[in-house]
Structure 1
Amino acid sequence: MNDSNKTIFDFNTSSDIYQWKVVDDVVMGGKSNGSFKINKDGNGEFSGLVSLENNGGFSSLRYDFKSKETEGYKFIVLKVKGDGKKYQFRLKDDKLNKHSYISTFETNGKWQTIKITLSEMYPAFRGVKLNIGDFSSNKIDQIAFLIGNKKAQKFKLEIDEIFFQ
Structure 2
Amino acid sequence: MLYDFTKQGKGKWRIQNDVVMGGRSESQLKMTDENYALFTGRVSLENNGGFCSIHQTSEKEPFIINKESDAFILNIKGDVKDYNFRIRTPKGRHSYAATFSTNNNGDWETIAIPFKSMQATYRGEVVNVPNYNGEDIVEMQLLIGNKKEEKFEILVKSISAN
TM-score, normalising length from structure 1? Answer: 0.89
- Is 2:133 the partner of 1:140? no
1:108: which partner in 2? 103
- Matched to 2:115, the amino acid is L
CA drift at 1:75: 1.1
CA drift at 1:69: 2.4
Structure 1: 4+ residue segments shifted above 6 A? none
Query: 1:93, 1:137 within 8 Å by CA — same for their partners in 2?
Result: no
2 CA distance for matches of 1:17 and 1:118? 25
Structure ranking higher in strand proportion: 1
Query: 2:16, 2:55 within 8 Å by CA — same for their partners in 1?
Result: yes
2:81: which partner in 1? 85
Q: Any residues of structure 2 matched to 1:62-101 within 5 Å, and which?
A: 62-65=55-58, 66-70=61-65, 71-94=67-90, 97-101=92-96
Unaligned 5+ segments in structure 1 are: 1-6
TM-score, normalising length from structure 2? Answer: 0.91
For residues 138 and 19 of structure 1, do their structure 2 counterparts lie closer, same or farther at Cα, with a shift above 3 Å needed?
same
Same amino acid, percent of matched pairs: 36
Query: 2:115, 2:134 within 8 Å by CA — same for their partners in 1?
Result: no
SS in 1 for 2:30: strand
Aligned residue pairs: how many?
157
